């Protein structure tokens, strides 16, 4: 399955999936055609959304512009164009018609967003699409591909805060308790929905491709599978664990295993997408950030539109830190809240180009060679969104921190010991919190949110290694290995008495 396959099997796979897509769409058309406003047993939430479609003109719109363009720039592109970079080769940004959104006050938007939470009404049951007017205002509800992602738990880390930090207002935003187990779902629902729209407009998109190993490929394959769109995932051979592979395999992606490293895969997918009509889903794609920014809006909403003092986000390619900034900024600009939180970006010390750049006073950014880290999703030395991250941090009095392997694994284990089950990336963010508390930058009463980016179950091997003290040069201070004991009542009692001590007497 993971070995390089011949071109003929590639074509075979692609046409099979395409046929399935055609069958699905024609079924939908029939259901639509039969529908005269009466609810039939075949009616579903998508049909209902179609019936309720407003006929009045949609006042909201968005377009691509060059990221941080000078005020006199006129360069812009429709979101229906297939374009990843600006004319000068820079990043793009999705720019909303803020004046149109401003025709409603903050109270209107707060009430609208609040009214959509926790329902199944298509597509607003999603935490992303409940903010549709701020995400992709012009897409038909019918074109949206959603797994009702978002609306993730904002967990009050009561015991962790009290015991380890002396804090009483500490929260963990569990973005990884999600459809495919990471926050990447928030962006991928937007990207795949837009691709679905382009395909329905008969634009030549035969599939979507990416060159990621972990969470991006998992999210891409699930959303494409839900919509019947072929997805192609390019992975470096022998550098991928089964756990990282199994999601795209199970979701029917065409998985290519290539004898190179990540950068080699990235180069190949870029070359491939120049030759074949495959949409590129990698992290420079600005559509994904529109979905990711809704996690920031959701945090404000969950605090009843009160602004936390600090939000700490682990960063690798650095799209997410900018997405959080953008979400908070829009809420501030449109009057939903009255200030901005301060953002902290947390990096692994083994992959810390942003940290070094921050420490050097934002002078002369230099990429680094990233070393292996347990926080594998942020093992990136030359982040695509460096400009976005610097812009975000400069504009909210932001801070960058780093975490060594031992620090991040200890922090993860400490969080787990208070009832969470977090990923190593969350351990990086928690380490940043420890350091900023110790230096007195974050006060004990500051309302602080730590963003957890993936589900801990995706990283069980790292936890097993830690708890069995199998990591070279790491004390694993908080490990809790199982006690091996004979199947004998006396032996078990001895062990239990030793554990319970005087409490058992």
Ligand X SMILES: *Cc1c(COP(=O)(O)O)cnc(C)c1O
Give the binding site for ligand X (CB under 6 A): 182, 184, 214-215, 283, 314-320, 377-378, 423, 425, 453-454
Q: Based on CB atoms, which residue is closest to ligand X, 227 or 377?
A: 377
Burial class, 31, CB count within 10 angstroms (exposed 0-12 / middle 13-18 / buried 19+): middle
Q: Which two tokens stand for residue 111?
A: 């009430």
At its nearest, how many Å lie between ligand X and the CB of residue 325?
Answer: 12
Q: Based on CB atoms, which residue is closest to ligand X, 433 or 454?
A: 454
CA-CA distance, 277 to 205, in Å (whole number)?
Answer: 5
Q: Based on CB atoms, which residue is closest to ligand X, 278 or 429?
A: 429
CA-CA distance, 254 to 2, in Å (whole number)?
Answer: 9
Q: Which two tokens stand for residue 252?
A: 């029917």
Q: Based on CB atoms, which residue is closest to ligand X, 209 or 427?
A: 427
Cβ(199)–Cβ(230) below 8 Å: no
Q: Based on CB atoms, which residue is closest to ligand X, 86 or 216?
A: 216
Cβ(310)–Cβ(296) below 8 Å: no
Beta strands in 50-183 (DSSP E): 62-66, 92-96, 154-156, 170-174
At its nearest, how many Å lie between ligand X and the CB of residue 451?
Answer: 9
Nearest to 322 by CA among 127, 99, 93, 155: 93
At its nearest, how many Å lie between ligand X and the CB of residue 315?
Answer: 4
At its nearest, how many Å lie between ligand X and the CB of residue 453?
Answer: 3
Place of tokens 């900034």: 325
At its nearest, how many Å lie between ligand X and the CB of residue 8?
Answer: 34
The residues facing 267 across adjacent strands are none
Taking residue 256's Cβ as centre, other Cβ atoms within 10 Å add up to 21
Could you give the 3-state DSSP secondary structure of residue 497? helix
At its nearest, how many Å lie between ligand X and the CB of residue 65?
Answer: 20
Angle between helices 242-250 and 215-227 (to 10 degrees): 10
Could you give the 3-state DSSP secondary structure of residue 153? coil
Q: Based on CB atoms, which residue is closest to ligand X, 116 or 458?
A: 458
**Sign of the C-alpha dihedral computed for residues 411, 398, 321 and 130 taken in this order:** positive
Cβ(280)–Cβ(270) below 8 Å: yes
At its nearest, how many Å lie between ligand X and the CB of residue 312?
Answer: 12
Could you give the 3-state DSSP secondary structure of residue 484? coil
Q: Is 330 left (phi over 0), alpha (psi -120 to 50) or beta?
A: alpha
- Chain centroid to CA 139: how far? 21
Q: Based on CB atoms, which residue is closest to ligand X, 251 or 283?
A: 283
Q: Based on CB atoms, which residue is closest to ligand X, 231 or 292?
A: 292
Q: Which two tokens stand for residue 288?
A: 């994904």
At its nearest, how many Å lie between ligand X and the CB of residue 435?
Answer: 19
Q: Based on CB atoms, which residue is closest to ligand X, 232 or 380?
A: 380
At its nearest, how many Å lie between ligand X and the CB of residue 289?
Answer: 8
At its nearest, how many Å lie between ligand X and the CB of residue 318?
Answer: 5
Q: Based on CB atoms, which residue is closest to ligand X, 107 or 243?
A: 243
């Amino acid at each position: 399955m993971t070995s390089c396959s011949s071109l003929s099997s590639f074509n075979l796979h692609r046409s099979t999936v395409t046929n399935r897509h055609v069958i699905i769409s024609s079924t939908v058309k029939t259901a639509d055609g039969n529908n005269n406003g009466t609810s039939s047993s075949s009616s579903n939430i998508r049909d209902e959304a179609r019936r309720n479609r407003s006929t009045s003109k949609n006042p909201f719109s968005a377009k691509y512009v060059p990221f941080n363009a000078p005020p006199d720039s006129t360069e812009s592109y429709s979101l229906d164009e297939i374009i990843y970079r600006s004319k000068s080769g820079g990043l793009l940004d999705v720019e909303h018609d803020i004046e149109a959104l401003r025709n409603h006050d903050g109270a209107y938007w707060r009430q609208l967003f609040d009214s959509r939470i926790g329902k199944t009404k298509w597509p607003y049951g999603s935490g992303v699409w409940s903010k549709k007017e701020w995400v992709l205002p012009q897409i038909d509800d019918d074109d949206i591909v959603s797994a009702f992602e978002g609306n993730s738990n904002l967990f009050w880390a009561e015991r962790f805060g009290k015991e380890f930090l002396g804090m009483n207002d500490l929260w963990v935003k569990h973005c990884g308790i999600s459809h495919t187990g990471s926050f990447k779902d928030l962006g991928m629902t937007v990207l795949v929905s837009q691709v679905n729209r382009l395909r329905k407009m008969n634009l030549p998109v035969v599939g979507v491709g990416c060159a990621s190993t972990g969470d991006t490929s998992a999210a891409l394959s699930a959303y494409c599978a839900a919509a019947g769109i072929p997805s192609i995932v390019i992975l470096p051979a022998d550098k991928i664990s089964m756990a990282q592979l199994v999601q795209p395999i199970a979701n029917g992606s065409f998985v290519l295993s290539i004898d190179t490293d990540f950068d080699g895969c990235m180069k190949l997918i870029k070359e491939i997408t120049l030759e074949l009509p495959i949409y590129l889903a990698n992290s420079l794609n600005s559509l994904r950030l529109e979905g990711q920014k809704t996690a920031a809006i959701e945090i404000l909403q969950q605090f009843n539109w009160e602004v936390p003092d600090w939000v700490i986000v682990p960063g690798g390619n650095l799209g997410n830190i900018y997405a959080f900034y953008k979400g908070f900024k829009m809420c501030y600009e449109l009057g939903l809240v009255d200030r901005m939180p301060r953002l902290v970006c947390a990096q692994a010390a083994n992959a810390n180009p942003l940290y070094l750049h921050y420490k050097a006073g934002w002078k002369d950014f230099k990429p680094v060679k990233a070393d292996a880290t347990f926080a594998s999703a942020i093992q990136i030395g030359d982040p695509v969104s460096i400009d976005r991250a610097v812009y975000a941090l400069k504009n909210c009095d932001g801070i960058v921190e780093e975490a060594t392997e031992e620090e991040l694994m200890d922090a993860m284990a400490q969080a787990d010991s208070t009832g969470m089950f977090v990923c190593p990336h969350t351990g990086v963010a928690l380490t940043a919190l420890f350091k900023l508390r110790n230096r007195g930058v974050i006060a004990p009463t500051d309302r602080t949110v730590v963003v957890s980016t993936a589900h801990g179950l995706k990283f069980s091997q790292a936890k097993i290694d830690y708890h069995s003290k199998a990591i070279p040069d790491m004390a694993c201070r908080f490990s809790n290995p199982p006690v091996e004991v004979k199947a004998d009542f006396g032996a078990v009692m001895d062990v239990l008495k030793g554990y319970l001590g005087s409490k058992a007497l």
